[in-house]
């Protein structure tokens, strides 16, 4: 059974870099043909797709965030990471990692981690 757990600092200073980790258990991240995705939800707003890592094809990012986002994989720790630089209050949100064998949906999700951008 695949399980995902997000972690990271709950508070980030404006203009700094937000760094989150998604620890994966139950499967090797690069062990098959799968998609590893980051999604966020600002308080009171809808879901926003940030980007994803595809084990057979690299990374794809939301164009609205592309210049600030890095998604990478640490196979030794079986972790997915998200880095978002130059953050502002608009990046305050609940951040989820998710995965699927299909590029059309995400069927396994972590519980999410809240990040607040504030000085």
Partner 1 sequence: QSVVTQPPSLSEAPGQGVTISCSGSKSNIGNNAVTWYQHLPGRAPKVVIYYDDELPSGVSDRFSASKSGSTASLAISGLQSEDEADYYCASWDESLNVYVFGTGTKVTVL
Footprint of partner 1 (CB under 8 A): 37, 39, 46-49, 52, 60, 62-64, 96, 98, 102-107, 109-112
C-alpha span between 44 and 37 (Å, rounded): 21
DSSP helix/strand/coil, 71: strand
Task: Name the minimum Å distance from CB 68 to partner 1.
Answer: 15
Instruction: Tell the smallest beta-carbon distance from residue 41 to partner 1 (Å).
Output: 8
C-alpha pair distances (Å), 32 with each of 3, 36, 84, 114: 16, 11, 27, 29
Nearer to partner 1, 78 or 114 (CB): 114
CB nearer partner 1, residue 15 or residue 105: 105
Distance CA 64, CA 82 (A): 15
Question: 48 forms bridges with which residues in the sheet?
Answer: 40
CA 32/CA 18 separation, integer angstroms: 28
Output the smallest distance, CB 15 to partner 1, in A: 25
Nearer to partner 1, 51 or 87 (CB): 51
Query: In terms of CB distance, is 21 or 62 closer to partner 1?
Result: 62
CB of residue 46 vs partner 1: minimum separation in angstroms?
A: 4
């Amino acid at each position: 059974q695949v399980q995902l757990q997000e972690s990271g600092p709950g508070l980030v200073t404006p203009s700094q870099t937000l760094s989150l980790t998604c620890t994966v258990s139950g499967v090797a991240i690069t062990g098959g043909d799968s998609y590893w995705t980051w999604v966020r939800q600002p308080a009171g707003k809808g879901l926003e797709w940030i980007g994803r890592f595809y084990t057979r094809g690299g990374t794809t990012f939301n164009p609205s965030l592309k210049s600030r986002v890095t998604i990478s994989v640490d196979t030794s720790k079986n972790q997915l990471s998200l880095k978002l630089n130059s953050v502002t209050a608009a990046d305050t949100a609940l951040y989820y990692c998710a995965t699927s064998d299909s590029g059309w949906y995400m069927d396994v999700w972590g519980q999410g981690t809240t990040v607040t951008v504030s000085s």
